[in-house]
Structure formats: C-alpha cells, structure tokens
Amino acid sequence: MGKPRLFGADYSVYVRIARLALLEKGVDHDLVPVDVFSEEGLPTWYLDFHPFGRIPAFEHGDFRLFETSAICRYIDEAFAGTALQPSDVRQRARMTQVIGLLDAYAYRTLVWDIYVERVSNPKKGKPTDESKVAAALGKAATCLETLSRLKPGGAWLCGERLTLADLHAAPIFAYFMRTEEGQVLLNEHPDLASWWAKIAARPSFAATEPKD
Ligand SMILES: N[C@@H](CCC(=O)N[C@@H](CS)C(=O)NCC(=O)O)C(=O)O
C-alpha cells in the first residue's frame, strides 16, 4: 500500500490535528493541498473525498475517510508506534469525552468567536464584533474550567501519556493563545498552562505551524 494522503491546508485546525497524529506516529504521508476558502471554490473532485466540502479528508490505499476523529483513530490503530489511545476503558471514554467537548463547544467559541474576531478580522481590515467576543467569553471559561476539572494528574489532558485528546486540543489552543483573552483565561488554570507549554514544545507542533 502507498503512503497515506491527507487533503487540506495548514491553517486548518482539523487538518493540523490529523497531521499531528501522523507525525506523532511517525507515518510517512503526503499533504495534498485543498483550500476550502479559495476564491475559486473547492475543486469538484474533492467532493468525492468529502461530500460536505470540509477539510481534512484522508486516503490510505483504497480506504477513504473524512471526520478528523475517525482519521486519527485509524492512524493510531493502523500504524506501528506508540499508542495514542489509553487501553483502559474509562480513560479511553474520558479521552473521547474531551475530544467531543472540544468539537462541540471549544472549536467554534475559542477559534471563530474569539480568535477570528480578535486577530484574523482586524488583519483583513474587518472590525471585531465585540458582542460576539463578549458572548463567547463565558463559554470559553467553561471550556477551560471543564478541561481542567476532567484532567487527572500527569502532564497530559488524560493523564501520564500523550493521547489523541492532546492532539485535538493543541491546534485550537494555538489560535486561542494568540488572543489576550486566551492568555488571561489560561493563566487561571496552572495545570492547563503547563500542559500548553508542554504540547507547544513538541517537534510535531513546530512542524505543523501554519505559514501565516
Ligand atoms: N467535523 C469535521 C470538521 C472539519 C472542519 O470544520 N474543517 C474546517 C476547517 S478547520 C472547514 O473545512 N471549514 C470550511 C467551511 O466551514 O466551509 C471534522 O472533524 O473533520
């Protein structure tokens, strides 16, 4: 079977999550550029890979997947290397819960409602929607409080070992930490602050830094 292919762009939180999983497992792969925000729109062939036109999509031999959680679990289980999911049933359920929380509550709030409004829009000459940021702050605080409350001892979000939950959270936090609101909220949670320092220092994290 040839190298797996991941379709997407480096700016995408979800593409970065899958790239982190590939790099942490040491899987040789190709990143096929697909820009969901390009002016020309998506190439029509891409809808065969992802009928909803989101990134990433993934292909390994004749096997195709979309949805980042499914892609990451496949990468972890189909390739050799250190396991990125706990073998203990309850720890694995906790990891799945944290990933669900990140998808359902943290991604939109921390990235779109706060980072995009505070940093991306002004860079493009668009004004910040202050009411959107203000409305998001309470949910952002709940996200961090809950991640901190669910976190057992140990360096990582689910304990002593790096898991898919850390890789899911890192690209979301990478954008959130570029905002003052993100810095302030993180400082209220020393356990998350030391987690953030640790994940941000991984070679996989540096290797997947968006170009701009
Ligand atoms: N549920 C999807 C979410 C993927 C997603 O939302 N990707 C974003 C980029 S980070 C995207 O394609 N956005 C384009 C759009 O919203 O039209 C997954 O887990 O892969």
pLDDT at 26 exceeding the cut of 80:
yes
DSSP state of 44: G
For the chain, give every domain's residue range.
5-78, 89-207
pTM above 0.85, yes or no: yes
Predicted confidence (pLDDT) per residue in 150-168, tens digit:
999 999 999 999 999 999 9
79 three-class SS: coil
- Pairing type for strands 5-8 and 30-33 reads parallel
Nearest CA to ligand 1 atom 1: 67
| Cβ proximity of 208 and 19 under 8 Å | yes
Task: Report pLDDT digits (tens) over 77-122.
Answer: 999 999 999 999 999 999 999 999 999 999 999 999 999 999 999 9
Q: Give the confidence band of 28 by pLDDT, cuts at 50, 70, 90.
A: very high
Q: How far is ligand 1, taken at its centre, from the CA of residue 67, in Å?
A: 8
pLDDT of residue 212: 74
pLDDT of residue 204: 98
Task: Please report the sign of the dihedral spanned by the C-alpha atoms of residue 121, residue 123, residue 126, residue 132.
Answer: positive
Q: Which atom from ligand 1 is nearest to the alpha carbon of 111?
A: 10
Architecture of domain 89-207: Up-down Bundle (1.20)
Position 53 scores a pLDDT of 97
Q: What average pLDDT does the structure give for the chain?
A: 97
C-beta separation of 204 from 23 below 8 A = yes
Neighbours of 25 (CB within 10 A): 20
> Is any atom of ligand 1 closer than 6 Å to the C-beta of 165?
no
Task: Tell whether omega for the bond before 171 is within 30 degrees of 0, i.e. cis.
Answer: no
- State the Cα–Cα distance between residues 99 and 94, nearest whole angstrom: 9
- In short, whether 109's Cβ falls inside 6 Å of ligand 1 is no
CATH code, residues 5-78? 3.40.30.10
User: Does ligand 1 have an atom closer than 6 angstroms to the CB of 54?
Assistant: yes
Is 1's pLDDT higher than 90? no
Instruction: Give yes or no for residue 111 CB within 6 A of ligand 1.
Output: no
Strands, sheet with 57-60, edge to edge from the N-terminal-most edge strand: 30-33, 5-8, 57-60, 63-66
Helix-helix angle 164-176:13-25, to 10 degrees: 140
Name the β-bridge partners of 65. Answer: 58
> Would the CB of 12 count as within 6 Å of ligand 1?
yes
Confirm whether 5-78 and 89-207 share one CATH topology. no
